[in-house]
Amino acid sequence: MIFMATQPPKTPKTPVKPQTPAFKPEDGRGSDSVVLERLPQKTKPPQMYQVVLLNDDYTPMEFVVVVIQEFFNKDRETATGIMLKIHLDGKGVCGVFSKDVAATKVDQVTEAARKNGHPLQCVSEPIEL
């Protein structure tokens, strides 16, 4: 279907002038607007904490190995190595976590030790970079 105009288009009485922009980049002058440059933000990684088990003369070595396996997801051989380090050096690192996760691990280990009647101590320490 073809549509045709019945009347020719009317021409405007006053010619329309093209508007010129207020700001011309080439001449450096223009409006009072301010252009902000986006600077990349650098965020620091979160402070990490190491969970440390402390040696005592009353907690059985086998219990320490089971705690390391259960709460720190280590295999038997690795857990035994950490337990021996705790026994010989007085303390041993079981894992490195963010602050909240480290605090939760400390609470879990301490609660398990108390339920089983052992004085095992567990602490978290910030890692110095």
**Lowest-confidence segment of 16-20, 72-76, 83-87, 110-114 by average pLDDT:** 16-20
Structural domains of the chain, ranges and CATH numbers in brackets: 57-126 (3.30.1390.10)
Name the one residue in this structure whose structure tokens are 């009485």.
Answer: 13
Residues 54 and 91: their CA atoms lie apart, in Å, by 4
Q: Which residues contact 5 (CB under 8 A, 6 or more apart)?
A: none
The closest of 102, 101, 97, 108 to 124, measured between CA atoms, is 102
- In the predicted model, is pLDDT for residue 41 greater than 80? yes
Q: What percent of the chain has pLDDT over 90?
A: 63
pLDDT of the residue at 37: 84
> For residue range 46-65, what is the model confidence (pLDDT) as tens digits?
899 999 999 999 999 999 99
pLDDT at 29: 58
Nearest-5° angle of CA 84, CA 106, CA 89? 25
